[in-house]
Amino acid sequence: MFTDSHCHLSFPELSANLPDILSAMSQAQVDRALCICTTLEEFEAVHALARDHAMLWSTVGVHPDNEGVTEPSLDDLLDRAARPRVVGIGETGLDYYRLNGRSIADMEWQRERFRVHIRAGRQTDLPLVIHTRSASDDTLAILQEEGGFAGGGTHPVSRGVFHCFTETEAVARAALDLGFMISFSGILTFRNAADLREVARFVPLDRMLIETDSPYLAPVPYRGKTNNPALVPFVARQIAEIRGLAEETVAQATSENFDRLFTRVVSSS
């Protein structure tokens, strides 16, 4: 019924309790979850989750905020993306939130890393999982520059999802205009997220995903606790309330959207 489009089951907070989490997912009618890769060093563990559990899938990528890790080459990403049950490229994007005394100009290494991921997505025709924080203008600009447009270039137009969306309606509109989907997390249930709830009212239901980003961002009433994919129905419930829909309608729509975006899930099933 429900699909968690973004979680980190390889992180130690969750991997140590994986059997209990999978059981809780089943009880909560969370049929599938996408396990997100954040470093090349982590990839084998993330991929093993997808390989060993029929309800789990994998991506490959290096998070924009990760430093001191192996820098991904295009070949690195293409090689891992070719493996079974790898369905997306990322987590990738830009994050200027913690500059640590550096300027935005100093973050060119992040922008180049992002471009490598976009090129991998185009060459594999896999969707991008986009992270953007305090960097939406550059994120959108680079996607426009690198992503290509219908009828142009030799590779498919970039597609994907802006995950854990916390930006403005204007950013959402720009992402939608580029052909991307928008994913909402447990932040949507927070008391101070009124503006974000308005964005969730604006985004078309057929362009929307839900996620936990677990182990982070547990929804109300579990805020402050360790999150896990079994709690993604709380995000669907909040969207249903915002839009005056049945929870089951949101669950069905977001799961169908997941299948439409991550086409390898359907072709491998």
Tell me, letter by letter, the H, E, C secondary structure of the chain: CEEEEEECCCCHHHHCCHHHHHHHHHHCCEEEEEECCCCCCCHHHHHHHHHHCCCEEEEECCCCCCCCCCCCCHHHHHHHHCCCCEEEEEEEEEECCCCCCCCCHHHHHHHHHHHHHHHHHHHHCCCEEEEEECCHHHHHHHHHHHHCCCCCCCCCCCCEEECCCCCCHHHHHHHHHCCCEEEECHHHHCCCCHHHHHHHHHCCHHHEEECCCECCCCCCCCCCCCCCHHHHHHHHHHHHHHHCCCHHHHHHHHHHHHHHHCHHHHHHC
Mean pLDDT along residues 8-27:
97
pLDDT band at 266 (very low <50, low <70, confident <90, very high): confident
- pLDDT at residue 100, as a whole number: 85
Lowest mean pLDDT among 65-79, 106-120, 155-169, 225-239: 155-169
Q: At what angle do helices 169-177 and 136-147 cross, to 10 degrees?
A: 10
161-210 per-position pLDDT tens digit = 999 999 999 999 999 999 999 999 999 999 999 999 999 999 999 999 99
Residue type for position 237? R
pLDDT band at 232 (very low <50, low <70, confident <90, very high): very high
The CATH number of domain 2-268 is 1.10.150.20: no
Q: Break the chain into its structural domains and give their ranges.
A: 2-268
Whether residue 27 is predicted with pLDDT greater than 80 in this model: the reply is yes
Lowest mean pLDDT among 12-26, 94-108, 234-248: 94-108
- pLDDT at residue 150, as a whole number: 44
Whether residue 256 is predicted with pLDDT greater than 70 in this model: the reply is yes
- pLDDT at residue 38, as a whole number: 98
Assign residue 173 a region (left: φ > 0; alpha: ψ between -120 and 50; beta: otherwise). alpha
Distance (Å, rounded) from C-alpha 47 to C-alpha 149?
31
34-86 per-position pLDDT tens digit = 999 999 999 999 999 999 999 999 999 999 999 999 999 999 999 999 999 99
Distance (Å, rounded) from C-alpha 183 to C-alpha 162?
6
Distance from the first to the final alpha carbon of the chain: 16
Mean pLDDT along residues 113-118:
97
